[in-house]
Structure 1
């Protein structure tokens, strides 16, 4: 979903100023892999908006710090609490922009009085609720070695990529039994514990051209002693009418990557393999999120 005009206006308010213009240019250079020489902040903002399809992903970039968002909000929202994380601040900034846009577009003062509860942020879209619920369920079972064949479609497929210091291994599977054996085998071989980022910055839902709910999730890999890498997964879900109409994975694409200094919290905006999938449609209608295993 392209970044809306109201969010572009909000980004101008946040970034096109003396304090944050350098951050804006830095973000644009990083996003375009330094392919373009960028010195003008307005040009940098245009490139960012063109290359990042999701406002939440853009604001979750490491260069946009928690302190920057907090200072921006406190200058505009009175009595702002101080006990929330960066994902909370990102959501509050987006909600602030959405509410301002709603009020400014209303034709009368009476219509401008909009209940805050009625303003649904992108994070609250049903497809993202499905993604979070599925991700929590899947990785809890996977870490506990309780994932079973009935949790997958019988013709489930897997593309697994393992990147380590000694090279890259890729594996393709075309049955549920092979998928389960390969995922479990990789987990046991390396002693991995999967720690998914279950905030909106780390797990989101999309819809592909075939009507599958696509769950995009990333997180960190841990051994018994420390964090040893990151993972990025895309799950294609379809309902199974013979299993309570629950959403079950029909295809899985997964990257496991070892790193000497993994991030504390891996996010979708930093992913190497999920950027194309992040550009898929993001419906905001009800998909019955309760029917998820």
Structure 2
């Protein structure tokens, strides 16, 4: 009898959805000792979930390949070095499920049971903390989780349902400064919610990039000014399919909108992208190149 929790069952199902039909049928035979004959992949998945004693047991099965777990974590916005071994990916996946930071989505369910603290829209970020002084780091973490999940969902190669991306998450006069470094620096600047929204969308929808933010302390900094501007700086890696292309640093300026339920909206975005040369000698998740004083200067602009 399966003892999987809700988050574990949902996560295991997503992993099974990434597996081939041949591997699913073989895995079903393994977990049932060939005592149950299944007719299709849907029945195979349900049988596997029902006869799996615990999540770790399923993840360690030979048919659950390392690359499948890596792809699953990437879809969930979890940063892992491309060189990670399977046991490291299994450990991180179990940590993710134990913290209930997943969206539980059962087949045929009419509602999606959301156990993630990450807001669905920019407006809901207002509910994270009524007073940003209470825990500004939490606001930064939740904003980044929300933003990159939203942006990555526009990448059709990941097989996700596209979420509600658009200019509504930005101030009308938002500014984007994008610097790409591949040999020489290339600077792009955009002004206005529509243009900024379209340029960022193109990174995932057209260029098929996937952004994995590093939300650990060395990859995330959050500062606030007395006037209400919150700066969120985050580092991370950039991927296309199973290839790590480089790293990025990104700074967001957030300001509440009193006319829209006091919700947070993006005032400016500064983004630096560096290619594979930045990965040389790097075995850990990327760290921020900005210090607090540099960020503080942006607060005073």
Length-normalised TM-score, structure 2: 0.47
Length-normalised TM-score, structure 1: 0.48
Question: Taking CA–CA contacts closer than 8 Å with sequence separation of 6 or more, which of the two structures ends up with the larger relative contact order?
Answer: 1
